[in-house]
Amino acid sequence: MILVDGTILNSEAIGKILPSLEKRICKTLQKPILSPLVVIEACHKLAETIEQGAYSDILNQLIAEAHISDEQINNVIRLFKRESLLYKLQVELGEDYIDMDLTPPFYIENPIHRRLMPLGVLFHIAAGNVDGLPAYSVIEGLLTGNINILKLPAVDKGFTVQLLSELIRIEPILAEYIYVFDTSSNDITGMQAMAQCADGIVVWGGDTAIEAVRKLATPNTKIIEWGHKISFAYVTEKGISDLALTGLAYHILNSKQLLCSSCQGIYIDTSEMSEGYDFSEKFIEILENVAIYYPEPNIGIEAQITLLLYNQELEAGPGDKKIYRGKRCSVIASKDQKLEVSFTYGNCWVKALPRKNIIEMLHQNKGYLQTVGLLCGSGEREMLSQVLCRAGATRITSGSEMSRMLCGENHDGEYPLKRYFKIVEY
């Protein structure tokens, strides 16, 4: 499905739309800048509509197929509320972000009018690891007054089109600011046609996706990268408690370790791997007790994880690794300190990393680090947070809140709304 002028069309219609896309966009650019307040009110009404039961069939399907909890859905809905979006604007852009009328020192003959203006057109290339993310990326583009072209991820099953279509029904003005296409990433001609209309390309994905976009974009197009990141937990002796570890376990099972903010593994503040083994024995019991409350992965994923664990056992050198197996989960205790992704779905690693070696070990991953779930004593938190941030992390949380969704939070160390504006003077 595609969405053009507020109308849902069959995918085949894209051949007729793309040749006229530039002309359509230029017509919209001639109009006054879209007010963020119009967007906010439409989003608020949409959130209320969903809360009242609209799209319950689609939401129930997401809950059943993707095992998304009611809590996760409610968190997403809250991000669309009026108070959340107003707070987001204030935090990311400041109180008086529209006009910055300041007279420069030593230049008093002619006043300079300086302000933020939309880039113009954003081409969003969305990832499919978070349901609702493609729509929210478009919302951020609308808040900054941009026209938005969205390429859906292959796994999207129509929820994004339905959501944005409903937003347009609530506020018809938005129709000409939203274009949604389900074009395949392999359709180079179609992707180039969309990219050529854009002032900025917003790409969500890993290094391969970003490299492909760099080849796709023309030199005069801004590329706004939201690449894949890796997150982990860091645990000190004073931070070990059943309550804290249970919270971390719930996070691991709830996020399925599929998000950039998901805990892939756990570093222990020690240089003795024997302490890592003791921790692993304790944590696998907690992880297993939590795993029973979550559905089993489908048989294909379960088989793949079983093979990966078996392969780890075969390839590990003497004493290199210990694998602790639980029902629907596992912990791999490794002597190396390499930061790496896990096997996901309740399978994490544990490694020893004394605090004195944090920066030396993690700085090589700069640009890839995101969230650290810090489990420590209250007197250690400030110092360890500073060290982890200097190593490259952009967010420090408790173990249970690593994938929290709060309005106004930075995304990978930056505020996205600022990147969708340009500063003009006249």
pLDDT in tens, 358-401: 999 999 998 899 999 999 999 999 999 999 999 999 999 999 99
Per-residue HEC secondary structure of the chain comes to: CEEECCEEECHHHHHHHHHHHHHHHHHHHCCCCCCHHHHHHHHHHHHHHHHCCCCHHHHHHHHHHHCCCHHHHHHHHHHCCHHHHHHHHHHHHCCCCCECCCCCCCCCCCCCCEEEEECCEEEEECCCCCCCHHHHHHHHHHHCCCEEEEECCCCCCCHHHHHHHHHHHHCHHHHHHEEEECCCCCCHHHHHHHHHCCCEEEEEECHHHHHHHHHHCCCCCEEEEEECCEEEEEECHHHCCHHHHHHHHHHHHHHCCCCCCCEEEEEECCCCHHHHHHHHHHHHHHHHHHHCCCCCCCHHHHHHHHHHHHHHHHHCCCCCEEEEEECCEEEEEECCCCCCCCCCCCEEEEEECCHHHHHHHHHHHCCCEEEEEEECCCCCHHHHHHHHHHHCCCEEECHHHCCCCCCCCCECCECHHHHCEEEEEC
Same domain, 36 and 87: yes
Q: 323 has which bridge partners?
A: 332
Residue 160: pLDDT over 80: yes
Q: End of a domain among 206, 228, 250?
A: 228
Q: For 73-101, write each residue's pLDDT tens digit.
A: 788 888 999 999 999 999 999 876 666 55
Let me know if residue 98 belongs to a domain.
yes
Residues comprising the chain, all counted: 426
Q: Are residues 150 and 297 in the same domain?
A: no
**One domain for residues 184 and 265:** no
| Within-domain flag for 260 | yes
Q: How far is CA 132 from CA 59, 180, 223, 393, in A?
A: 11, 14, 22, 25
User: Is the model's pLDDT at 211 over the cut of 80?
Assistant: yes
pLDDT band for 113, please (50, 70, 90 cuts). confident
Find the mean pLDDT for residues 115-140: 88
Identify whether residues 175 and 318 lie together within a single domain: no
% of the chain at pLDDT higher than 70: 93
pLDDT band for 28, please (50, 70, 90 cuts): very high
The answer for residues whose C-beta is within 8 angstroms of residue 41's C-beta and 6 or more apart is 82, 171
Say yes or no: 117 and 242 in one domain: no
Instruction: Let me know whether 296 and 184 are in one domain.
Output: no
**Pair 155, 103 in one domain:** yes
Query: Looking at 171, 202, 228, which one is the last position of a domain?
Result: 228
Candidate from 98-112, 173-187, 351-365, 368-382 with smallest mean pLDDT: 98-112
301-336 confidence digits (pLDDT tens)? 889 998 998 888 887 777 789 999 999 999 999 999
Q: Are residues 192 and 287 in the same domain?
A: no
Residue-level pLDDT at 105: 63
Rounded mean pLDDT of the chain?
Answer: 90
Q: Stretch 207-217: mean pLDDT, rounded?
A: 87
Higher pLDDT, 172 or 65: 172
Span 213-240, average pLDDT: 93
Is 416 inside any structural domain? no
Average pLDDT over residues 109-134: 83
Residues 238, 99, single domain; the answer is no
- Give the mean model confidence (pLDDT) for residues 249-269: 95
- Between 99 and 276, name the one with better pLDDT: 276
* Tokens (6 digits) for 382: 């400030």
In a domain, 424, yes or no: no
- Tell me which residue of 397, 395, 401 sits closest to 414, measured CA to CA: 395
C-alpha–C-alpha distance, residues 297 and 72, integer Å: 18
Interatomic CA distance for residues 194 and 55, integer angstroms = 30
Q: What pTM, to 2 d.p., does this model score?
A: 0.89
User: Structural domain tally of the chain?
Assistant: 2
Is a pLDDT exceeding 80 seen at residue 408?
A: yes
User: Is residue 270 domain-shared with residue 295, that is, in the same domain?
Assistant: yes
The CATH code of the domain that includes 24 is 3.40.605.10
Q: Indicate whether 136 belongs to any domain.
A: yes
Do 150 and 35 share a structural domain?
yes
Q: Is residue 202, in this structure, part of any structural domain at all?
A: yes
Strands 121-125 vs 200-205: parallel, antiparallel or unpaired: parallel
CATH number assigned to the domain comprising residue 272: 3.40.309.10
In a domain, 356, yes or no: yes
Mean pLDDT, to the nearest integer, of 112-116? 81
Q: Which domain holds residue 247?
A: 230-401
| pLDDT at res. 205 | 83
| pLDDT at residue number 99 | 61
Question: Residues 57, 76: one domain?
Answer: yes
